[in-house]
Structures are given as C-alpha cells and as structure tokens.
Chain A
Amino acid sequence: MFKHILDILSLWALPFIILVILITAFIRKVPVYETFVEGAKEGVNTTIKIVPYLTAIIVAVAMFRASGCLDFITAHCSGLLSKINLPAEILPLAIVRSLSGSAALGVFSDIASQNPVDSFTVKLGAIMLGSSETTFYVLAVYFGSVGIKKYRYALATGLIADFAGIVGAIIIATLFFH
C-alpha cells in the first residue's frame, strides 16, 4: 500500500511540476515556446564549460579505483571494524560514495547480492547510500558551470557532512535493525 503511494508520487512529480509551470505561464500570457528555446540555448554552453572540471575529477577517481588502494585500506581496517561490530564491506562504500555515484551504486549492489538481503550489512549500506550525494561530482559540476576555481571551504564542508552521514547511518542502523 505504502509502496503503491510512493510509486504514484514518483511517477507524478515531474509531470506535475511541468504542468504547473506551463499553465502558470499560459495564464500570465508568457510565450512558452519562444521562452523555452531562449532558456534552452544556454544549456549546451553550460555543459561545455563543465567538461574540464568533470574530466579532472573523474579521471583521478578512476585511477584511484584501478590502483587497488581501496582494497588495501579495507584489508587493513577490517580487524578494527569488526572490533566495533561493523562489517568490513561497508568501508569501501563509505569512502567511494563521496567520490563516484555509479561506483557507490556498484559497491552497494555487490553487498546486496553477497549478503542475505535482510541482513544488517545490507540495511546499513542502503541507509548510507540513500542518504548521500556524490560530493566531488556536485562540486565539479556546480563550480565548473560558472568557472569557480577556488572552492574555499566548500569541499571541507561537504566532506564533514559526508562523515556525519556515515556516523549517523551507523548509529541509526544499529538502533533500527540490530
């Protein structure tokens, strides 16, 4: 029942927003087609502007993943993690979720397929992934679009929030599902 409502909501969210915008525009006598084309023109330039920033971060993250550094960290910290009752598989997810969205989804899918689906590990992973956004990607795209090169404290803030999310996920998952 709940899931059914969710499905309807996610199906209708986009059409609803578009309808509200277009109908309001029509009532206020905005020439919708001309205005659309005028705004859309900027879209292409924006993506071209983002490319250098995106390439810089995606290449660095791809190299990092290929180097096996993550496996090294996981192998050396698994003892420490099991002491505080945490599954070792969670660590790569915790690190990678700030770096790459598709990689994080891949890591989580692995966790979900290699553990019983209703286990604590899978639920913790789900909460961790569901509560995060790919910090490095967001920084590259948003700052890239307007040519900002000095991020000041934006990266530090993003990473602190990511860390708070990891700690929060562990605490909440333990309270709910352990």
Chain B
Amino acid sequence: MNFIWLFLIIISIIFGAINGKLNDVVNSIMSGAELSINIAIGITGVMVFWLGIMKIAEKSGLVEKISEILKPAAKFLFPEAYKENKKAIGDIAMNFSANALGLSNAATPMGIEAMKELQKINRNKESASDSMCMLLAMNTAGFQLIPATVIAVLSASGSKNPTEIIVPTLLVTSFAFVTAIFTAKIMQKFFPPQKVTEENEDV
C-alpha cells in the first residue's frame, strides 16, 4: 500500500506538470479531501442504523444461528475465526448475504462488525490476519446477484432489454469471486506469516 499510494501521488504530479494540468491536480487535493469527509459523513447515518440492527440480531441469537448453518464453508475459508470466534463467522455470513443482495449500505457495517471480531483474535493488531485478508478478498471481488445500478443506467439510456446482462455478469462476478478466494488461499501459504506482537487477550 505504501508503494501504490506514493506511486499514485508522484505519477499524478509528474503527469499534471507534463500535461499542463498541475493546477487541476492541486485543486483535486482540496476537492478530494472534502469529498472524503462528505463520504464519511454520508455513511455515518447508515453505519449507526445498521450497527444498531446488528446488535439486535446478535442478542437474539440470529448471528450465531447463521454461523452454525455455514459451518463447512467457514471451516475452509476462515479456519482461525472458526475455531476462536463464532460471532465473526455469523457477521461474515451476513456481510456476504447483504453484498449478494446488492445492499451495499447494509453490507459495509456488517463487514466492519466482522472485522472488529476478527481483530479480537488477531495476534498483531496493526497487521491483517489471514481471516481478514480472506474477508477482504470476498468483499473486493464484489459478488452480487443482480447488478441493480448498472441495469438502472442501461434503462435510463434507453436499453430495451437491460436485464439481459444479469446472467453474463453473474458468471463473471462468480469467476472473480472464486479467483479471489483461491488467490487468498494460495497467498497465505507463500506470504511471510504475521509477526506476533501480543498474546491473544480475548479468548
């Protein structure tokens, strides 16, 4: 991430200078910073609401029930979390379901709940555990049953049959999703393990 971030900024300044767009680049720093705060404020309301709902789901035992149903998949994808933190599995399952249904507003708070649970059993609080990387792999691949936004844009542009992209999109998104999972699984084997900085305090 260090490298990519540095690369994006340096490349932007150099290209801005060459293209005579340095002024735009400078302005984009201000507007980008402003935008990031607007996005954060924009998601706060949804975050607050869904974390409240999630707490109810947790207290009523629903989250645990879902993790029970998804045992076999959880064992394969999140072996650490499966052993040490059952609630994380339930949160992950809810995050995945919300994503699949295209409810990204609800999916993000659920995913963050899952991250908090995974952080509890993480042995180095500044570095991503294997389970976290797997959860991120599942989320960045963006598995979704119905690409509602795209269908809306197609409809608005006058497409006669915007739903015909559903099946091909589903094929592609499934392929990307499976690729993400297996890439994460393979990377686990070859990537140097986390440095352990502290003992696991929560279990």
Contact = CB atoms under 8 A, between A and B. Distances in A.
Contacts of A138: 136, 139-140
B128 A25 contact: no
A46 B47 contact: yes
A64 B5 CA distance: 10
Contacts of B1: 139, 151, 155
B140 A126 contact: no
Most chain A C-beta atoms within 10 Å of own C-beta, residue among B115, B158, B176, B179? B176
Contacts, number: 337
Contacts of A169: 172
B8 A126 contact: no
A60 B33 CA distance: 9
Contacts of A148: 119, 125-128, 132
Interface residues of A, number: 97
B49 A22 contact: no
Chain A contact surface mostly: helix
Interface residues of B, number: 106
A172 B171 contact: yes
Interface of B: 1, 4-5, 8-9, 11-16, 19, 21, 24-25, 27-29, 31-33, 35-37, 39-41, 43-44, 47-62, 98, 101-103, 106, 108-109, 111-112, 115-116, 118-119, 124-128, 132-133, 135-137, 139-142, 144, 146-151, 153-154, 157-163, 165, 167-169, 171-173, 175-177, 179-180, 183-184, 187-188, 191, 194
| Cβ-closest 10 pairs across A and B | A39-B55, A133-B142, A130-B147, A62-B32, A43-B48, A40-B52, A161-B180, A158-B140, A165-B176, A66-B28
Given A28-B61, A47-B43, A55-B33, 16 more contacts: A21-B60, A25-B56, A25-B60, A47-B47, A60-B32, A63-B12, A63-B13, A66-B24, A66-B28, A126-B169, A153-B133, A162-B140, A164-B180, A165-B176, A168-B172, A168-B176
